[in-house]
Amino acid sequence: MAKKPLQKTKKNKELKRPEIVLSSDELRELGMIMDRLAVQSPEGESLDNCLRSLRNTLQGREALTLALIEALGKHPSEVSFRAFGLLREMPSGGAGARVVKQAAYRFAQQGFVAAPERPDREVALVAREARESIAYMVMEDESCFVVSALVCSSASSEPMALIAYFTESFDQLSFEVAPSSSKGFKELMERTTRSSPSPPCEIPIWHAARLVFEMLGWSTGNRPALTGTVKRLLEPFLEAGRMPYAYEVMKERGDVAASPQDAGIGPILELLPVRWLLFSEEELRPWREAILTASNSVLVVSDEMKYQRIEELIRKAADAQCVHGKRSFMQRFLEEGALWLYLTRRSAEAASVWRTVQHLARGGIPSENPLVVQLIAASLRRYWPEDFSEDEGHTQSLGAESGLYRSTDSGIIIPR
């Protein structure tokens, strides 16, 4: 006898479960809306107009709005999440709240996290420290930059852990986003620190946001699936016009522009992942041909004259290739490198890197910058080792001598 009331209660709950009933015309319209959203680009100029028009169309049409929200949650994407964010406040009553909550859960499962419908008053009772964002940065050979952050943002109802990094090349930018907590993020950073050969440094969240947005600009491949989510999380922290954090912790040297040779590039080559600074094979191909022509000249000239001509060509290549976007990235890379070294208690090495930064920042001539010249030489050896060295041209071999090339008095590696 005791089981019957329970069965009845369960049956009553099933009967009370709200159902979305659409007419045949509304079903067709729903399909047309989903088809239209499917062809929209999340970065397209027409998306905002499309969503505004959609919201106006759905005014006063509760059933179709709920059906659309439910369909959006079943097909999570950048565009469907944008549409959901615009429509989630429209439904009213318990049925609408259930549909919105279910859709929000499905989006969250795919990394798309929406702000809560109503502010949770209890959040004010949480200790302030528990709601502060925190970020770390490390430079590694495989990933260039790795930015890790615990983001407490109005764009999310709970703290979100975010990791941004490249994988092997600039066309492979990756984002990882997941709900977390201060304790969970601390444990993540402890595991990361133990497994990484390079120590991370803590950076302000505004600087982490800047660096992640710059990484999007440096990326040459398709945008990661979570790009929209990452932007929404970090945009509130961007501070337009503020210089990179390195300029707040490092001091400029007034004599750098006049004496770039004093910079010293040893710490850069030894401690920073400089393979990310190498010049492209296609850009250097004409210079390789010119250098080989000079080294194999049929004219009877002394070796010293031949080496001088080759060194001149390498310096000309530095002036021709270290321009525009390449020069800007090199400067930003070195600014972050100086910051990372300084914050990981390697101040002498950081100061050496910073002097090279200042030479670039003040418009110094690339051919007068030892690092730029050595990167040209290292790039040539990387792409054409048979012409320039016996090894594969790894940057750690800079300054070494083999049977096929030699170091000039200025330190440039050239063919014998």
The count of other CB atoms within 10 Å of the CB of residue 404 is 16
Rounded to the nearest 10 degrees, what angle do helices 205-218 and 324-343 cross at? Answer: 150
Contact predicate 268/340, CB 8 Å: no
Q: What is the pTM of this model?
A: 0.65
Whether 331 is covered by a domain: the verdict is yes
Contact predicate 174/166, CB 8 Å: yes
Structure tokens at 207: 């600087």
**Is residue 395 exposed (0-12), middle (13-18) or buried (19+ Cβ within 10 Å)?**
buried
Q: Which amino acid is at 177?
A: V
Q: What is the pLDDT of residue 365?
A: 93
Contact predicate 166/144, CB 8 Å: yes
Q: Do 292 and 367 sit in the same domain of this protein?
A: yes
Q: Give dist(CA 135, CA 289) in Å, integer.
A: 46
Q: Which residue has the tokens 């949770």?
A: 120
Q: Do 214 and 192 sit in the same domain of this protein?
A: yes
Q: Give dist(CA 355, CA 367) in Å, integer.
A: 16
Whether 38 is covered by a domain: the verdict is no
**What is the Cα Rg of the chain in Å?**
29
Q: Do 236 and 317 sit in the same domain of this protein?
A: no
Q: Do 138 and 227 sit in the same domain of this protein?
A: yes
Question: Which H or E element spans position 406?
Answer: strand 405-407
Whether 106 is covered by a domain: the verdict is yes
Q: Do 275 and 400 sit in the same domain of this protein?
A: yes
**Which pLDDT tens digits describe the chain residue by residue (416 residues)?**
444 444 444 444 443 445 688 888 888 888 888 888 888 887 776 787 788 888 888 888 888 888 898 888 888 888 888 888 888 888 876 777 888 888 888 887 777 765 444 344 344 444 444 468 999 999 999 999 999 999 987 766 788 999 999 988 999 999 999 888 888 888 888 887 777 778 999 999 999 999 999 999 999 988 888 899 899 999 999 998 899 999 999 865 444 444 556 557 888 888 999 999 999 999 999 999 999 888 876 666 677 788 888 899 999 999 999 999 999 999 999 999 999 999 999 988 998 899 899 999 999 999 999 999 999 999 999 999 888 864 433 333 333 333 333 444 444 444 44
Residues belonging to the chain: 416
- Boundary-marking domain end, from 242, 275, 296: 242
Q: Do 291 and 379 sit in the same domain of this protein?
A: yes
Whether 30 is covered by a domain: the verdict is no
Q: Do 264 and 409 sit in the same domain of this protein?
A: yes
Contact predicate 343/201, CB 8 Å: yes
- Boundary-marking domain end, from 187, 211, 242: 242
Domain range for 147 is 126-242
- Name the domain count of the chain: 3
Whether 1 is covered by a domain: the verdict is no
